[in-house]
Amino acid sequence: MKQVLTLLAALFLVAACTGSTSYVEELPGIYPDYIGVTIPAGIAPLNFNLPEEYDRVFVRVTGSKGGELRVRGKWASFPVKKWQDLTRQNAGGMLSFTVLGRKDGQWTQWRDFILYVSDVPLEDYGITYRKMAPGYTTYSRIGIYQRDLHSFREDAIIESTLTPGQCMGCHTANATSSRQFLFHLRGPHGATYFQKDGEREWVTTKTDSTIGNVAYCYWHPDGRWMAGSINPVRQAFWTGDERTIEVFDLASDLVVMDMEDHSLVVDPRFTTKDYLETSPAFSPDGKTLYFCKAKAFDVPRQVDSVRYDLVRTTFDAATGTLGDIETVIPASAAGKSVSFPRPSYDGRWLMYNQADFSVFPIDHKEADLWLLDLETGETRPLEEVNSDFSESFHNWSSNSRWFLFSSRRADGLYVQVYLSSIDQNGHCTKPFVLPQKNPRKYYHDTLYSFNVPDFTHEKVDFRTSGTYREVFSDERIKATVKP
Amino acid sequence: MDRRYRIALTALFGMAVFSFWMWLFPQALNYQEQNQLFLFTRDYFSQRLVLPGGLADWLSEALVQLFYVRWAGALVLALLLVGLQLGVWKAAGKKRFLYAPSFIPSLLMLVYMGDVEVLVSYPVALLLAVALCPLFEKAQWHRLWLIPLGWWLVGPVVAVPVLLSVLRGRKWADWACLAWLAVTFFVEYRLLAAQYPLRDALFGLNYYRLVESLPALQPIIPAATLLCILLCGWKVQLRSPLAVETALAAVLAAGTWGGVKLAYDKDTFEVLAYDWLIRNENYQQVLSRAQRFQPRNAVSACSVNFCLFTQGQLESRLTEFYQCGTEGLVLPSIRDNLSDITSAELLWMMGMPNITLQYCFDLQESIQNGRKSGRFMKRIAECNIVNGWYDRAVKYLDMLEHSLFYRQWAREQKALIRDEAQVAAHPVYAYIRSVRFQEDFITNYNKLDLMMAILYNQNKNNFMAADYYSAWQRLSEREEGE
């Protein structure tokens, strides 16, 4: 009986798909645009939707190295296991998609499209990000989450409901490792949370000699040191219809923290009033510290004059001392501003943002990703991945062959996470948005932006029990200044 | 007590509650409605159900959306409180004696709701819990699954039927239910609410809007409900039951009157009333109320001044009302879900859609239980339309399309923005576009008067900017004089 029913269903489908199917020599208008992207084998299925007027979709995926997958439904939704098997079977090859859509009872078949499966693996468990409304000065819900890249599973690491009244800063892991990470809480019971091998610490990083708590942080590869910039951040608002918010720092200084005794290296050359220092990042060998530096102006009045250069200094991991400052990219001289330098973990590249001014590219439509070749010193905009909207925060996978970045390209406001791969010559593939079970519904319905995404090599283990008590007890380790 | 008398007393109570919300405090209905956005979607339902107490929360939000219509809101609350009273009476069992105590939980609830942050999910959950009492008493071993299910659906008030069945049964199996209740709580806490503080989960995650707060009445009312159920079933020999019941009812009415007097803060409800009246464009009524009594705070001053402007009286009657400097004209950005509403409204009309967008976004994000707002989202969508950001506007309009009272409006706007010519010809959008800033610069909140001057100078039809500028100068001079 079951076989007869299956046969009847197959006959019905064939009839439906062939009897009155019209063929158009165009690519299907799928959402998200996955046409021609390159994916890692084993990633979560790249489900997609046809335009809303199509009530049914039929998709056949054929691998260049074998294997086939057929799905039908309201949108293209692939079974996770079968999809992963197919992509693994076709690593280094491609997948061909035959798509049929039904509108008003009529089926249409479009030109097949291709999706490439990279032979370079993405070895990380997933990604972490903060979700919050892309708003102004207030938030109702905010949280740090981790998403398994091999399925659709998302878990909360910590949500603001657990620590009411405290704003939540971003999760910063040591080179994608879940063994060592930090995040900030801001508010009356604020602190920076450090976790290393399961050991927890709540630290107040503000001292009498510094202008506030550390904000933008980056771990030294050996885990003993953490560089951080101290940024009293403010917002201003534009009156026109091109942009809304301008984020700026009233001041900003750079310090390095010794995690062994929670002391800060405060070097006067990096804490001047006349200059702003921010966004530190260590090179993978730990000997160089990259950061952004700009001449200070009267803000917000002269906010459009604040332009950051990419600079670097040497770092001695034995003593925590910083060397002389050397300019790497004199962007300000060209009327541009650099932010968020991120060296790849293999030491080959450095990715950064460039905008017309300011240090917060997320609110700058013109902000793009740029790539600096650390071997040749050449730098170029990543035209393969940039869009007409803001590209902002970015990070590397643990093997440095994949990267992710935030972009507002969907609607100009809500930030989504995109992934792309890079080859030995620095060529990047067409990026794809983080897959979702029902992408259009998910991305259209969400009122959250994905902030500060990063890869995580393993699943982050954060214990929620006891957190409320620890936060509201105000028992803190107080950072000191290294003599 | 005679059945007719009981019916009469309950009907009288229902009418009193209806009148209470309909004519005495309708502004509270408006406040509740504008701090949530109920959507007819499966996702919305499942989002509620992932937390303990989720069904009660979902049901209450479905009811609160009706508060958009004043009489419907009053009727819903009257039915809820009457239902709670009848539930208590029914839970007392077949042998019931005293009727008046069955009103106590509802009356306490009425007093408690003088705190406008009490969510309607609280009386809904309690009503459901009380309705479960007869079932729990008969359930025997079925309580093993009824307790976890009950906690999941209505939250910690499920302790009421559990405790009642224990107190009435008093067998070892009944006492074991208490241990099972504790196990249920910890298991459900870890599974469903691990991202909440333990205390919040213990006293209800969705009974009260504000975080970090636990009003004393919140645990007291369920305890009082339990006692009242037992009290109603207390066999007492009375010479004149009618007289005793009448006396009890009178004492309860007097106590409630006193409680309402204490719990309903006059200033808060007056500010809420201004907001409700402004939302409905009853500007003259705001001025009439303010002539009788005006709270001495910047929010009320801002509302009254705005209404003066709408009546063309900002210049002539400015000094007749309470003033607190220029803050009383336009409030700075305040992180709560009420203060900036009038400022957002007037800045929208004046031609500052970006500040309106900021204010409305922050107002919505200031709803501490993380709910959205139909009223604020509507204005956010309008600001996006004025700016020509249609992709973003559609996101909000699609959401509003799943609501009951904003659906039609959302559909109209979606149809409108498909054609730029129609947007350009729309009376509101076209007007805001004509009076807004023609240049892009950073807003200076300390120099809003100068920004008003810019608006007026670039469009002499923007008489609102001119009126507010003049008022600003007068109030500044007055402040300096003081």
What domains, with CATH codes, occur in chain A?
18-118 (2.60.40.1220), 126-472 (2.120.10.30)
Contact A161 B441 (CB under 8 A): no
Q: What is the C-alpha separation between B318 and B309, in angstroms, rounded?
A: 9
In Å, what is the CA distance from A480 to each residue of A19, A169, A205, A207, A318?
77, 22, 8, 6, 18
Residue B256 shares a structural domain with residue B305: no
Q: Is residue B192 part of a domain?
A: yes
Average pLDDT over residues A427-444: 98
Region of residue A324 (left: phi > 0; alpha: psi -120 to 50; beta: else)? beta
On whether any CB of chain B is under 8 Å from the CB of A244, the answer is: yes
Of A325, A419, A294, give the one whose Cα is nearest residue A369. A419
Q: Chain-wide mean pLDDT for chain A?
A: 94
Asked if residue A12 has pLDDT above 50, the reply is: no
Contact A161 B195 (CB under 8 A): yes
Residue B62 shares a structural domain with residue B196: yes
Range of the domain at B109: 3-265
Q: Token pair of A464, please?
A: 């929620």
Q: Is residue B135 part of a domain?
A: yes
Average pLDDT over residues A163-185: 92
Residues of A in contact with B211 (CB under 8 A): 161, 164-165
Instruction: Give how far B205 is from chain A: nearest CA, Å.
Output: 10
On whether any CB of chain B is under 8 Å from the CB of A154, the answer is: no
Q: Which residues pair with A201 in a beta bridge?
A: A194
The alpha carbon of residue B91 and the mean position of all alpha carbons in its chain are separated, in whole angstroms, by 29
On whether any CB of chain B is under 8 Å from the CB of A447, the answer is: yes
Residues of B in contact with A137 (CB under 8 A): 333, 335, 358, 362
Q: Is residue B278 part of a domain?
A: no
**DSSP label at B482?**
-
Residue B111 shares a structural domain with residue B245: yes
Average pLDDT over residues A326-347: 97
Helices B26-34, B266-279: inter-axial angle, 10-degree rounding: 70
Residue B256 shares a structural domain with residue B187: yes
- Running along chain B, 482 residues long, what does each successive block of 10 average in pLDDT? 89 98 98 98 97 97 98 98 97 89 97 98 98 92 94 97 92 90 96 95 95 92 97 83 90 97 97 98 97 96 98 96 95 93 97 96 95 98 97 97 98 96 97 96 92 96 97 92 73
Q: What is the pLDDT of residue A337?
A: 98
DSSP result, A209-257: TSSS-EEEEEE-TTSSEEEEEE--EEEEEB-SSS--EEEEES--EEEEE
Residues of A in contact with B369 (CB under 8 A): 140
Residue B231 shares a structural domain with residue B87: yes
Measured between its terminal Cα atoms, the distance across chain A in Å is 83
On whether any CB of chain B is under 8 Å from the CB of A156, the answer is: yes
The SS3 assignment for A349 reads: strand
Asked if residue A223 has pLDDT above 80, the reply is: yes
Q: What is the C-alpha separation between B105 and B224, in angstroms, rounded?
A: 6
The alpha carbon of residue A88 and the mean position of all alpha carbons in its chain are separated, in whole angstroms, by 25
Q: Token pair of A450, please?
A: 């994905």
Residue B254 shares a structural domain with residue B326: no
Q: Which residues pair with A314 in a beta bridge?
A: A288
Q: What is the pLDDT of residue A7?
A: 47
Average pLDDT over residues A464-472: 95
Residue B441 shares a structural domain with residue B330: yes
Q: What is the pLDDT of residue A165?
A: 85
Residue B331 shares a structural domain with residue B474: yes
Q: Is residue B250 part of a domain?
A: yes
Contact B387 A239 (CB under 8 A): no
- A34-81 pLDDT per residue, tens: 999 999 999 999 999 999 999 999 999 999 999 999 999 999 999 999
Q: Is residue B467 part of a domain?
A: yes
Contact A140 B370 (CB under 8 A): yes
Residues of A in contact with B387 (CB under 8 A): 241
On whether the CB atoms of residues A76 and A57 are closer than 8 A, the answer is yes
Query: Which of B212, B333, B371 lies nearest to residue A164, judging by beta carbons?
Result: B212
The SS3 assignment for A452 reads: strand
Q: What is the C-alpha separation between A98 and B67, in angstroms, rounded?
A: 51
Residues of B in contact with A465 (CB under 8 A): 194
Contact B399 A161 (CB under 8 A): no
Residue B258 shares a structural domain with residue B332: no
CB within 8 A of B161, min separation 6: which ones? B91, B129, B130, B132, B133, B135, B136, B137, B150
CB within 8 A of A296, min separation 6: which ones? A251, A273, A274, A275, A276, A306
Higher pLDDT, A95 or B170: A95
Residue B230 shares a structural domain with residue B152: yes
Of A31, A52, A133, A39, give the one whose Cα is nearest residue A91. A39
The SS3 assignment for A262 reads: coil
Residue B304 shares a structural domain with residue B247: no
Q: How many domains does chain B have?
A: 2
Q: What is the C-alpha separation between B444 and B37, in angstroms, rounded?
A: 32
Q: What is the C-alpha separation between B445 and A135, in angstroms, rounded?
A: 18
Of A24, A94, A99, A112, give the one whose Cα is nearest residue A59. A99
The length of chain B is 482
Residues of B in contact with A136 (CB under 8 A): 333, 358, 361-362, 365
Higher pLDDT, B481 or A461: A461
Q: What is the pLDDT of residue B233?
A: 86
A–B CB contacts, 8 A cutoff, strictly below: 113
Q: What is the pLDDT of residue B211?
A: 85
On whether the CB atoms of residues A56 and A72 are closer than 8 A, the answer is yes
Average pLDDT over residues A466-473: 95
User: Count of CB atoms within 10 A of residue A236's CB?
Assistant: 17
Residue B173 shares a structural domain with residue B257: yes
Q: What is the pLDDT of residue A8?
A: 47
Q: Is residue B108 part of a domain?
A: yes
On whether the CB atoms of residues B103 and B249 are closer than 8 A, the answer is yes
Q: What is the C-alpha separation between B198 and B305, in angstroms, rounded?
A: 45
User: How many Å is the maximal CA-CA distance in chain B?
Assistant: 84
Asked if residue A310 has pLDDT above 90, the reply is: yes
Q: What is the pLDDT of residue B412?
A: 98
Asked if residue A155 has pLDDT above 70, the reply is: yes
On whether the CB atoms of residues A416 and A434 are closer than 8 A, the answer is yes
In Å, what is the CA distance from B177 to each residue of B165, B173, B182?
9, 7, 9
Which position has the token pair 């001053």? Answer: B301
Q: Is residue B132 part of a domain?
A: yes
Strands A253-258 and A225-230, how do they pair?
Answer: antiparallel
On whether any CB of chain B is under 8 Å from the CB of A414, the answer is: yes
Q: Give the dihedral of Cα atoms B386, B387, B388, B390; nearest 10 deg.
A: -80
Asked if residue A167 has pLDDT above 90, the reply is: no
Q: What is the C-alpha separation between B326 and A380, in angstroms, rounded?
A: 51
Q: Is residue B280 part of a domain?
A: no
